[in-house]
Structure 1
Amino acid sequence: MAEQKKNQGSPSSAYEAMREDWCLIDDIMAGARRIRACGEKYLPRFEEETHEEYKRRLAVSPWRPEFADALRNLASKPFDNEVALAEGASQSIKDIAEDVDARGSNLTAFSREVFKGGIQRGMHAILVDFPEMDPQATRADERRAGARPYWVTVAATDILALYIGMVDGKEAVVHLRLRENSIERDGYGEKTVERVREFNAAPGTVPEWVLWRKVKGADGKETWGEERRGFIRRGEKTTIPLALFWTGERHGEQMVQPPLIDLAQMQIELYQSMSRKEEILTFAGSPMLKGKGFKKPTEGTVSVGPKCVVFAPPGENGAETDFDFIQPNAANIKEIREDIEGIIADMKRLGMQPLTPKSGNVTATTTSVEAAKAHSAVECWALGLKDVLEQAFVFTAEWLKEEPTVEVIVDTDFAVEPFAQAPLDALNKARERKDISQRTYWGGLKRFGVLPQDHDADAEEEAIASEGEAPVPEIIIDPITGQPVVPPAA
């Protein structure tokens, strides 16, 4: 068969190489219904197993979302505190940070989606776009029209092709194709419209984009037709405003290994093991009745269950007859249960492994080490998030024709164990000895979760001061004795 001709919607070779891993992870994140719908892809059929029996086993196979739980846990780490802008950001940048995607998402909410997507698939991207305006429009014209830069979150699975090259002496994206499918109204129904947006950049030229749409011709064949095109005009800048966020191990321009792919494989292993356990428990709870010493009855049925008495017919040639049950050995059930517990324990360790601080060639980890303040993979990812957000603000400032001097604050102090007793004791003793100030003490209590993150030191000092200003009760003097009047006991 001849190789199909490539077109605008054709993924790159790097995309094709990662498709299987991304498909596995996305199926797992979709949950039990998607996994069961995949059938034999994730739960193989036994030899000689009938279709109906397989459907029954598939329907009752348990699903435990250990992978999704680990991903949510890791992805939430940098967001105990809000993602913020450092001092010095312009008012226009601050306004955009309150609604970065023009859909109501503030900087923290948008960053959370980027971070989770990066951990899930190994990469994510932010496209900084701008509404189409007349090339001669001034900044005042843009303000009157309400035009402003906005960010678009781009999943790795929507980046069909990504090629890096040199633009103006720096490494930058020179060709990009993004999938932009949408569901649109079709009378009283709906239809899926397939689109691909193509970007091209070259040294000394204004970056160009083309929006392609898949259309069906009169002959029934589908082709890609140009819907519209335009230019990315950011002053003298000639790069495509795409900021890339990586968490996995990169292999080339686009290929990446998702950091949790091994955990995803273990999730399927757990699913298959739990299916076996469920099947064995079914046999153990409903054992098969076995008759020996006589032929199978040719008429009637044998009722088995509560309040039923089974009588064995006479045996042939005086043979002893009896009924017995066939069921799994209890030791096998215990072994399978322990195997599942071991898989879950391994998954929890693997899911928390990126939180383990790295110090040289560490060969053993402990809970105390995991909770210690040190460099870890998740901290590296959080720093990578900071970099990609700042790069997106650079593109934003270019659209606004401002100096790109924005610094983003992302929390990386999440390796601290909440309510850890040893550091809290050290804080208390340091404060008692006056080695640290009251505000430093409060800051330490906030860090370890004793005080809320929105604790206001100024308001606290005012409250403490007001407690020391309680009104002094008025003293009444007896005019005859000249002594204070003692009020009667209540």
Structure 2
Amino acid sequence: MAETTSTPPNNTSSDYDAMLPYWTMIDDIMGGAKTMRAAKERYLPRFEKEDREEYEERVKTAPWTPLYSDAFRNLASKPFNKELALDENAHDDLKTLSENIDAAGNHIHVFARKVFEAGINNAIDWIWIGHTDVPEGASVATRKALKARPYWTRIPAKRMLAVYEDVVEGEVLIVHARFDESIKRRVGFGEETIERVRVLDRERIETVENGVTKVGYGQPTYQLWERKEVKGRRSASWAVIEEGRISIDVIPLVPFVVGDREVGSFEIRPPLRDLAYMQITEFQMESDRKRVQTMTAFPVSVFRGVEAPDDGEKVMLAPRAAFFFPPAGEGGQLGDFKFAEPSGAAGTMLREDLTEFRREMREAGMQPLTKFSGSLTATEVMVNDAKAHSAVEMWALALKDALEQAFVITCKWLGLSEKDHPNVKVNTDFAIGAQTAEEMGLILQMYEKGLISADQVIDEALRRNIIGPDYDRDEDLKRIIEQITERLEDEQAAMPPGDQSDDEEEDQTDAA
């Protein structure tokens, strides 16, 4: 059994280290008030000369408004207003797999949505295409008996410790990857965490032909490392508990990248990075506003010409309370009492600044949470909405590409041709919110003038999400016919016996 005590397999790459602070910040933001307050000085710096007790109280009551998460969820939901699915011509085995793509009961639509959401937040998410363990050289019958099948697993960005690529004959290949595969194990009535790391690797092979060095890579292999506590050692040792070859010719990992990626690395600029930083600023502004409000919201009792009570005796301030001041001595000053109310100018200014900053956040997040008025014209709103619309379309197309790459690897596991990989249908047809009402008005005018059919009107309403995705056209047509029939029957039943149409009288005459 191979062991190491030098560089452990859970060592992270420089790309990972560069991205980790941002991932941690996003986890805190998505965790809401609890995690943001728990982070304390990471997001709410302590003021100079602010004692620990005051600081703890300020952090504990710091307000939180989840503008980032609201904007994120709105954007992340757009490609999934319609069900993600494979095209009709997809191989039957792939269609079957798509119904339970992760071997845990999740349809590919559900799985893809989780990948998409994580990708928007972290700029990258990973799909691991694994396969049920089977004996080497197992027959088809044995595989069926073992219910062997490919399955997909999401590897979150924070679990993907290191990934390295190389270009071979113009094709980018993943040649090494390590990801955290720790598990929890029950021990009696408790549990323990077993730290594990899966290592995927391809050996670099250099050959010389006619004086030219060519680079290639061998068959992919895997190792599963486990952390072992060793008595007498300060640090734990890592040992390989499982290893072998991967039977397909690639490392079965596919990245879903959202954002601008540095060439030759996995350091990526997240698409919502600026909005995330704005959320931190908004949190600090809210905390400052609350602190100023607390300091200025209550009047201060002021006694003039009166000595302070002995031994810290409290002065009762309440309705019907009375104060008696002794007469002033020769040349003395008469006693006085009043309430001094601090100016609220600072609180007003902070409130206005916060309102404006939130407006900017909503605009940046493409998700207005409340109606607001300002300098934006209707045209500017439509342009901004269209930009967000096109950005989400770009992310949806990146998701489509990642899913189709994952199906290419799935075909390798199933022994199918790469040409058998299906076309994945991802919704990229999003309505532009600010234009929806105006456009539908024009569409209805075209219908009234006989330029388009009722079916086309329904198609346009579905495309703009005016009608829900569960709308069944055939079922709705049946209901319309039933309603018309019932209305005609009710009208005929309400007519007097002698008030029949000429057609009905002719029908009765013919019958006689």
On the 8 A contact 2:389/2:430 being kept in 1, the answer is no
Displacement of 1:278: 1.7
Residue in structure 2 matching 1:244, options 252, 255, 264: 255
Q: For 1:187, give the aligned amino acid.
A: G
Please name the residue that 2:218 is paired with: 205
Please name the residue that 2:380 is paired with: 366
Residue in structure 2 matching 1:301, options 314, 319, 322: 314
Alpha-carbon separation, structure 1, partners of 2:462 and 2:253: 36
On the 8 A contact 2:98/2:107 being kept in 1, the answer is yes
1:214-233 pair list within 5 angstroms: 214-220=227-233, 221-233=235-247
User: Does 2:356 correspond to 1:342?
Assistant: yes
Please name the residue that 1:358 is paired with: none
Alpha-carbon separation, structure 2, partners of 1:19 and 1:9: 15
Alpha-carbon separation, structure 2, partners of 1:269 and 1:197: 39
Alpha-carbon separation, structure 2, partners of 1:182 and 1:365: 53
Residues 145, 168 of structure 1: CA spacing in aligned structure 2 closer, same or farther, 3 A cutoff? farther
SS at match of 1:444: helix
1:37-186 pair list within 5 angstroms: 37-167=38-168, 170-186=171-187
Please name the residue that 2:502 is paired with: none
Displacement of 1:430: 2.4
User: Does 2:437 correspond to 1:421?
Assistant: yes
Alpha-carbon separation, structure 2, partners of 1:413 and 1:241: 31
On the 8 A contact 1:373/1:416 being kept in 2, the answer is no
Residue in structure 1 matching 2:460, options 440, 444, 451: 444
User: Does 2:284 correspond to 1:272?
Assistant: yes
User: Does 2:330 correspond to 1:319?
Assistant: no
Alpha-carbon separation, structure 2, partners of 1:365 and 1:390: 37
Displacement of 1:152: 0.5
Residue in structure 1 matching 2:446, options 414, 430, 439: 430
Residues 226, 112 of structure 1: CA spacing in aligned structure 2 closer, same or farther, 3 A cutoff? same
On the 8 A contact 2:366/2:388 being kept in 1, the answer is no
Q: Deviations over 1:142-188 (max 9, x none)?
A: 22211110001111111110101135652111010101122221221
On the 8 A contact 1:167/1:239 being kept in 2, the answer is no
Residues 137, 309 of structure 1: CA spacing in aligned structure 2 closer, same or farther, 3 A cutoff? farther
Alpha-carbon separation, structure 1, partners of 2:444 and 2:379: 29
Displacement of 1:199: 0.4
Alpha-carbon separation, structure 2, partners of 1:483 and 1:458: 34
Displacement of 1:432: 3.1
Displacement of 1:420: 2.4
Count of residue correspondences:
465
Q: For 1:411, give the aligned amino acid.
A: N
Please name the residue that 1:382 is paired with: 396
Please name the residue that 2:503 is paired with: none
Q: For 1:455, give the aligned amino acid.
A: Y
Please name the residue that 1:401 is paired with: 415
SS at match of 1:17: helix
On the 8 A contact 1:370/1:415 being kept in 2, the answer is no
Please name the residue that 2:373 is paired with: none
User: Does 2:469 correspond to 1:453?
Assistant: yes
On the 8 A contact 1:174/1:240 being kept in 2, the answer is yes
Displacement of 1:19: 1.4
SS at match of 1:376: helix
User: Does 2:410 correspond to 1:411?
Assistant: no
Displacement of 1:138: 3.0
Alpha-carbon separation, structure 1, partners of 2:319 and 2:48: 33
Displacement of 1:200: 0.5
Please name the residue that 1:260 is paired with: 272
Unaligned runs of 5+ in 2: 204-215, 369-377, 499-505
On the 8 A contact 2:202/2:221 being kept in 1, the answer is yes
Residues 429, 416 of structure 1: CA spacing in aligned structure 2 closer, same or farther, 3 A cutoff? same
On the 8 A contact 1:288/1:327 being kept in 2, the answer is yes
On the 8 A contact 2:389/2:432 being kept in 1, the answer is no
Alpha-carbon separation, structure 2, partners of 1:301 and 1:215: 63
The ranges of structure 1 where at least 4 consecutive aligned residues each deviate by more than 6 angstroms after the TM superposition are: 465-476
Q: Using the TM superposition, name which of 35-44 and 384-393 deviates more.
A: 35-44
On the 8 A contact 2:129/2:409 being kept in 1, the answer is yes
Please name the residue that 2:194 is paired with: 193
Alpha-carbon separation, structure 2, partners of 1:239 and 1:315: 97
SS at match of 1:318: coil
On the 8 A contact 1:277/1:336 being kept in 2, the answer is yes
SS at match of 1:425: helix
Residues 280, 158 of structure 1: CA spacing in aligned structure 2 closer, same or farther, 3 A cutoff? same
On the 8 A contact 2:102/2:152 being kept in 1, the answer is yes
Q: Using the TM superposition, name which of 287-296 and 399-408 deviates more.
A: 287-296
TM-score by length of 2: 0.83
Q: For 1:29, give the aligned amino acid.
A: M
Alpha-carbon separation, structure 1, partners of 2:188 and 2:135: 33
Displacement of 1:333: 1.5
Please name the residue that 2:501 is paired with: none
On the 8 A contact 2:118/2:124 being kept in 1, the answer is yes
Displacement of 1:99: 0.7
Displacement of 1:344: 1.3
Q: Deviations over 1:84-129 (max 9, x none)?
A: 1112101110111111111111011101100000010111111100
Q: Deviations over 1:316-359 (max 9, x none)?
A: 741243234454412221111111112211211111189xxxxx
Please name the residue that 1:16 is paired with: 17
Please name the residue that 1:488 is paired with: none
Displacement of 1:15: 0.9
